[in-house]
Amino acid sequence: MKRYITSLALAVGLLAGSANVMANEEGGLPSANTNVADKASLQRGAKLFFNYCVGCHSLKYVRYSRIAEDLGLSEKEVMDNLNFTGAKFGEAVVSHMPEESATTFFGKAPPDLSLEVRAKGADWVNAYLNSFYLDPSRPVGWNNTVFPNASMPNPLWELQGLQVAHMGKEGGEEVVEKLELSQPGKLTPAQFQQATRDLTTFLEYAAEPAALQRQKYGIWVLLFLAGFTFLAYMLKKEYWKDVH
């Protein structure tokens, strides 16, 4: 019985590891290394989102009160430092920008980001935030190697600085060979990497706030299943001890 349980756990672990490796290889993106259990990272990510993203993007499935509860913040801290729209504590996070204005400026309303990480993955979101470069040919003056010809300017340019693209030819088409920082921002490259990781972590949390509770309860569920399995095994031995 013990060997069976150990083998099953090992098989599940190997399958999960293989799936992660395949996903990274297929996507060709570096790992974001996010950890939604890191409360400090979540708090830093929330600060970045509400200072640089909520002007255009909403989190319509997340409430300020839930953010306070999950991130270990008081109502006053949330309302003073994260709520810039005058929303009530129990209301959902809504963008500053009216939809009509967003459509006028960008051609269409910026998407709600509640489920962005679930839709595209944390690695994609983190890579996207790091891949903006100046492009005078685009209406907003920016482009992105992960999502080419996006209508969004770089919201974090003052932190990252200005990146330029070095172009090359591939299959007769002009492609971006590499990005280079032409003007530094407020953060060093290493600090900016941490900032985008924190922001991605917060968006990963926003995509599934219940994940924090699920991880906490998961330990107890596993302990219950282990205890139940032991009792079931002992009961089986008791029933079958006289059967030969």
pLDDT in tens, 19-70: 443 344 345 899 999 999 999 999 999 999 999 999 889 999 999 999 999 9
Whether residue 242 lies inside any domain: the answer is no
Is pTM beyond 0.85? Reply is no
Residues of the domain holding 201: 32-237
Whether residue 61 lies inside any domain: the answer is yes
Q: Is 223 helix (H, G, I), strand (E, B) or coil?
A: helix
Whether residue 5 lies inside any domain: the answer is no
pLDDT at 10 > cutoff 50: no
User: Is residue 128 classed exposed, middle or buried when 0-12, 13-18 and 19+ CB atoms within 10 A define those classes?
Assistant: buried
Quote the pLDDT of residue 14: 39
Whether residue 110 lies inside any domain: the answer is yes
Pairing relationship of beta strands 161-170 and 173-184 according to DSSP bridges: antiparallel
Count of domains forming the chain: 1
Whether residue 102 lies inside any domain: the answer is yes
Q: Is 175 helix (H, G, I), strand (E, B) or coil?
A: strand
Whether residue 117 lies inside any domain: the answer is yes
pLDDT digits (tens, 9 = 90+) for 193-214: 999 999 999 999 999 988 776 7
The residue to which tokens 């990781």 are assigned? 197
User: Is residue 204 classed exposed, middle or buried when 0-12, 13-18 and 19+ CB atoms within 10 A define those classes?
Assistant: buried
Q: Among 31, 11, 9, 10, which residue's Cα sits nearest to residue 20? A: 31
Lowest mean pLDDT among 34-38, 135-139, 237-241: 237-241
Q: What is the CATH number of the domain that holds 67?
A: 1.10.760.10
Whether residue 25 lies inside any domain: the answer is no
Question: Mean pLDDT across the chain, nearest whole number?
Answer: 84
**Distance in angstroms (rounded) separating the CA atoms of residues 23 and 30:** 11
> In percent, how much of the chain has pLDDT > 70?
82
Whether residue 19 lies inside any domain: the answer is no
Quote the pLDDT of residue 231: 87
